[in-house]
Amino acid sequence: MTTQFHESSAETRIAHVPFSHLSVELGHVYMEDFEAGEDALRRRLGGLGPWLAAAEDSLRLRLGSRRPRVSTCFLVDDYFARTVPPREALPLLITVAAESGLPLDYIARESACAHADGTAPAELVEANLVPVPLPGDNGTRPPASASGWLSNGRRSPAAFGGEAMAEPPAWAAPWEVSARRHSVFADVQLWDDENGTRTWSCPFLAAVWQLIRLGMLRHDNRDVVRPRPWNGTYPDDWDELPPIVRLNADAQPFCAYRTLSVLEPRFLPIEHAVRVILDQFAADPDVLHQTAARHAAEAPDPLGEIVDRVAYVFPST
């Protein structure tokens, strides 16, 4: 008989989060969208119902006899501006969504992608970025953690900074690592600093948002954001709200194996940048394994890479 001894404190236990099969984002709303008034918001939301229905039908076909779990959400930008208080913004959004026939389960604050429930999701993501290795790279370009920029390939060489009287380097085209014959090169700004204060970029926060929805982030092996209900009148200060407000007591889980974002075409450049970031994010292997094992037990198709779990619709208005 072989006996093994180990300390329970040495075991790493990754928190489980409940999963839907699909999280559908029905919009990303800025303060100016609220300022534009009820009619403008109604025009934006009025045509979204068929896209949600199509996503649900597609999921049913993929799952076969299994019952699909779908949750819906909106992301409200309270990070870059707060000109409209939640006591005005949220009832307007909830009312217009209901009139448009859109079931609304959760409303999330974009500032929660930076700070939420005592954690800093954006910092967790930044710490786990692994830029793609480039052939022939000499290390002259500072890393993303220092420069605040992340690319999907090799940049054109700088035409300055060489020795005095030396010939400037010859121009060379940028190059995408995963190019299919021709490159679509992207250089994404992750953040900027002003007077010692870091401001995360919209694409970076949107990437964090996708990772939160996919249940990929942990802090001290615990999930970083938990939806909570709100009872009564909404407050004047956005910081008084939970990071994610649960509106529907019967809603399916907020996190999901896959996400679908139904966004206006103006978000297309941002979401291209999001995919560049997600493609270079190194998730915790234990979280990846846990999620893949749970998905395999209830869905017939493979889960795939993180970036492949994110889908979009960009309908014109």
Confidence of residue 194 (pLDDT cuts 50, 70, 90): confident
- pLDDT given at position 36: 93
Residue 9 confidence (pLDDT):
45
Average pLDDT over residues 102-118: 95
Contact (Cβ atoms closer than 8 angstroms) between residue 224 and residue 119: yes
Q: How far apart are CA 288 and CA 308, in angstroms?
A: 14
Domain boundaries, the chain: 17-124+203-266+284-313
- Return the pLDDT at 11: 52
Q: H or E segment at 7? A: none
Q: Determine the Cα angle at 280 with ends 12 and 17, to 5°.
A: 40
Mean pLDDT of 76-103: 96
Overall average pLDDT of the 291-313 stretch = 93
pLDDT value for 132: 80
Q: What was the pLDDT predicted at 164?
A: 58
Task: Kindly indicate the confidence band of residue 262, based on its pLDDT and cuts at 50, 70 and 90.
Answer: very high
> What CA–CA distance (Å, rounded) separates 162 from 143?
20
Q: Which helix (H) or strand (E) holds 126?
A: helix 121-127
- Per-chain mean pLDDT for the chain: 90
Mean pLDDT of all residues in 229-236: 96
